[in-house]
Amino acid sequence: MLGLCFLYLRHVKGHRWNHKRVYRIYRERELNLRIKPRKRIVREKPEPLAVPEAINQCWSMDFMHDRCYAFDQINCLHAPERWPDIKSFAVIASERTIRGKTTLEHRLYIASLPADAARLNHAVRQHWRGENSLHWCMDVVFGDDQMRARTGHAAHNFAVLRHIALNLIRLAPVKRKGGLKVRRLIAATSDNYRAQLLGLV
C-alpha cells in the first residue's frame, strides 16, 4: 500500500518527495492501520422453517437417510482383476432433505467382505466416523496436513505426540468452554491447565 502511495505522489501528483518522507506522513496519518469493514449478509426473503402438518413428520431442517445395496456379481465391473481380493461391491444411496429440498447421492464401494448390506453399511459408517472424529480434528486442531517432518521417524513420532495431546485435551478432568483448538491454546499458555491435563495437580 505504501509503495502505491509513493508512486502515486511521485509520478501522478508530481511531488519530488523521497520514500522516507512519504513513509513518515503515512505513519502520522495512521494509514498503516488496517481498517476492516464489517460486512452484513442481508437476507432479502428469509425462508420460514418447515413445520410438520401431520403425525410422524420430522421437525429437523437437515434429515439424512441411507440405503445400502450389496452385490457379489463382480464380473460386471470394469477390470475386476485389478483388485485380487474383491468379493463384493456396494451402492449406498443417501437421501438428504434440507428445508424441503431433497437431494439424492449414490456412493460406490468395493470390498473384500461378502455381499452383506448391513455389514458393508456399518463398515462404511465406521470409516467415516473415524475420518470425522479423528482425522478432521487432527487436521483442524494440529494442522496435520501441513506438517512437513520427513527425516527418519519424525513424522510417526510427531503423529504419536499429537494423538496423545488430542486425547489429553478430550479427556480433561476439568472441562473448559471452547473447542479443541481453544483448549489447546489454553494448555499452551496456562501452567495450571496444563498440569491438570497431565495429572500433576
DSSP 196: H
Q: Give which of 136, 106, 104, 109 is closest to 124, Cα–Cα.
A: 109
Going from the C-alpha of 121 to that of each of 66, 84, 133, the distances in angstroms are 9, 22, 18
Stated pTM of the model: 0.44
pLDDT at residue 177 above 60?
A: yes
Distance CA 115, CA 92 (A): 13
Interval 86-104 mean pLDDT: 83
pLDDT for the residue numbered 60: 47
pLDDT one-digit tens code per residue, 9-27? 666 777 776 767 767 776 7
pLDDT for the residue numbered 64: 60
pLDDT one-digit tens code per residue, 51-76? 667 665 554 444 566 788 888 888 88
